[in-house]
């Protein structure tokens, strides 16, 4: 079990859920929520990262609001201020970097759905985010206007569902082209037969046991390669 924390975010504060591995130390990872908010599925994922040896911080991008209703989730997404989200992402990276439990100056970011896009964006915002992993990213890049040049020397991993159009989807192609042109290393995985949010085990209508396990193992391997040295 983790704890709820508050951290500085460009003159303001952001709340989040922090999970620390049993060893007491490990690389830092930012866990970026879906459009439902900081719900139990996301804190469970932070706990899973902690169990795998990472100090995991899940920021609350909706600042105390969560929902189980798609219409409300869409409203929350559409009303999210991208400048505030950028501050929260950057603040989360700085906060992890200052935690005594975090080994090494570089951290990772892993996000899901809406958070998949935010996680990929985060590496363009915070110099210490060395690797970003996006699961089925679902926010148009026009909302973020990412400067992909920030990926020079960094890495990205993108997990694509078939329902979202796989790696052929326009947004995925744009991200791959931008990151590659910047000199970043980008790896893309397709998961045939999967629906959007196939990792979310609280939604049996979309959860895919085999694809989820494979994507999780691949994510841990890529994080380890970048953050354990």
Domain hosting 141: range is 3-227
In a 3-state reduction of DSSP, which class is residue 78? helix
CATH code, 212: 3.40.50.1820
Are the C-beta atoms of residues 116 and 35 closer than 8 Å to each other?
Answer: no
d(CA 119, CA 113): 10
State how far the Cα of 50 lies from the Cα of 152, in Å rounded to an integer: 28
Asked if 116 and 50 touch (Cβ cutoff 8 Å), the reply is: no
The structure tokens 């915070």 sit at 126
One pLDDT digit (tens) per residue for the chain, 229 residues: 799 999 999 788 999 999 999 999 999 999 999 999 999 999 999 999 999 999 999 999 999 999 999 999 999 999 999 999 999 999 999 999 999 999 989 999 999 999 999 999 999 999 999 999 999 998 889 889 999 999 999 999 999 999 999 999 999 999 999 999 999 999 999 999 999 999 999 999 999 999 999 999 999 999 999 998 5
| 68 three-state secondary structure | coil
Number of domains in the chain: 1
Q: Give the chain's largest Cα–Cα span.
A: 45
């Amino acid at each position: 079990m983790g704890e709820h924390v508050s951290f500085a975010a460009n003159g303001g504060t952001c709340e989040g859920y922090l999970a620390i591995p049993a060893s007491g130390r490990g690389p830092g990872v930012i866990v970026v929520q879906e459009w439902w908010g900081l719900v139990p599925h996301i804190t469970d994922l932070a706990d899973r990262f902690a169990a795998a040896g990472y100090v995991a911080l899940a920021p609350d991008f909706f600042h105390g609001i969560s929902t189980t209703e798609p219409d409300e989730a869409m409203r929350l997404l559409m009303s999210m201020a991208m400048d505030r989200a950028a501050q929260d992402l950057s603040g989360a990276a700085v906060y992890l970097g200052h935690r005594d439990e975090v080994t090494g100056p570089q951290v990772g970011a892993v996000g899901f759905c809406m958070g998949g896009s935010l996680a990929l964006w985060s590496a363009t915002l915070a110099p210490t985010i060395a690797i970003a992993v996006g699961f089925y990213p679902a926010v148009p890049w026009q909302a973020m206007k990412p400067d992909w040049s920030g990926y020079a020397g960094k890495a990205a991993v993108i997990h694509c569902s078939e329902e979202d159009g796989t790696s052929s989807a326009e947004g995925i192609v744009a991200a791959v082209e931008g990151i590659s042109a910047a000199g970043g290393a980008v790896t893309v995985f397709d998961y045939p037969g999967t629906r959007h949010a196939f990792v979310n085990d609280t939604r049996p209508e979309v959860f895919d046991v085999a694809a989820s396990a494979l994507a999780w193992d691949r994510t841990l391997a890529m994080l380890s390669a970048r953050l354990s040295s």
